Structure 1
Amino acid sequence: MKGFEEVFIVAWIVFGLYMLVFMVVGADLWSGVRKAKRRGEVRSSYGFKRTVDKLARYYNLLIALTVVDCMQMGGVWYLDGYYGYHIPIFPVITLIGAIGLGCIEVKSIFEKAEDKVRSDYQQVLMLAGEIAKHRTDPEEIAKAVVDYINKGSGK
């Protein structure tokens, strides 16, 4: 029964890590909404869609890290059961990944809204430069606009 208790505890730890990542993304969303409100921007579904896309990417990463942890913990369990090595079963890799994602979100929360707007302006200026460079070739202008739109939508 000792093995099942460990698995149960590890499952709760992994669940807790997943929920903490969800909460820190929620805190970033709340921070972003407050910053947009302070700047007088309209909150649209586009920003919320980006948060959902970010959550999907984060959970894809966490699931992959958890699979690697399962392999690692299976090896530790085998060494413990058959060779007497007493290494604790713990999802180390998932923990490191969750800490990394949390740090990214905390940095995003503390970023100034003006810095994010400045980055958007720089992208628009790059698009304007591309359009000016190819002002006689409509196909190149269309290509530059499509590239800009695709980059903005995360494609």
Structure 2
Amino acid sequence: MNDIIETFIHDHLFLHLVLIAVSMTAIIIAMGIDFISGIQKAKQRGELRTSKKYKMTATKAKKYFNPFLTLVMIDLICCIVIPFPVFAMLWAAYCAFCEFKSVREKSWEKAELRKAEKTMSIIIENKDDIARLAAQILFETQKEKEDKNDTGTTE
């Protein structure tokens, strides 16, 4: 019985642990590449690199590694049935894909998105003024039409 358990631990669990370590390393490397790329893009755009923006990497790591560790536990529970840690590897592939897409985004596209965000926030903040201005323009247009109709019928 001990031989069976030792063989299982040595062959099967060792493979699981190696693949889990490779998956975790892939996530860390992808996050590092994205971090460096983000710093370079911020320099190109002339943005400040503040501690708040650096902390976003820690937040991202938390978003990646909490589900990853949960999936690792599921993989370890299922290791008798599944020959390798499928769930953890799929999650690592997804995280690496997200980081790849983030690195591939052009810095000017991000700048345009931020500019559009600022414009929309200004519009939302000043929606009452915009509505009042639109109503005033409509009222003046309607008044001009009525004035033209009044002068056209009296002559």
TM-score normalised over the length of structure 2: 0.73
Tell me the residue number matched to 2:77.
71
The alpha carbon displacement at 1:23 in A equals 0.8
Aligned to 1:45: 51
The secondary structure found in structure 2 opposite 1:41 is coil
2:27 counterpart residue number: 21
Structure 2's unaligned 5+ residue stretches are 1-5, 130-155
Q: Which whole-Å CA distance do the structure 2 matches of 1:54 and 1:106 have between them?
A: 14
State the structure with bigger RCO (CA 8 A, min sep 6), 1 or 2.
2
Which stretches in structure 1 are left out of the alignment for 5+ residues?
A: 77-87, 136-155
Aligned match of 2:42 in 36, 46, 58? 36
The alignment of Structure 1 onto Structure 2 pairs a total of residues equal to 123
Residue 101 of structure 1 aligns with which residue?
Answer: 95
Equivalent in the alignment of 1:3:
8
1:98, distance to aligned residue in structure 2 (A): 0.6
* Greater C-alpha radius of gyration: 2
TM-score of the superposition, structure 1-length normalised? 0.73
- 112, 125, 129: which one pairs with 2:106? 112
Structure 1 equivalent of residue 140 of structure 2: none
Could you tell me which amino acid in structure 2 is paired with residue 117 of structure 1? A
Displacement of 1:24 after TM fit?
0.5
What RMSD, in angstroms, separates the aligned Cα atoms of the two structures?
1.5
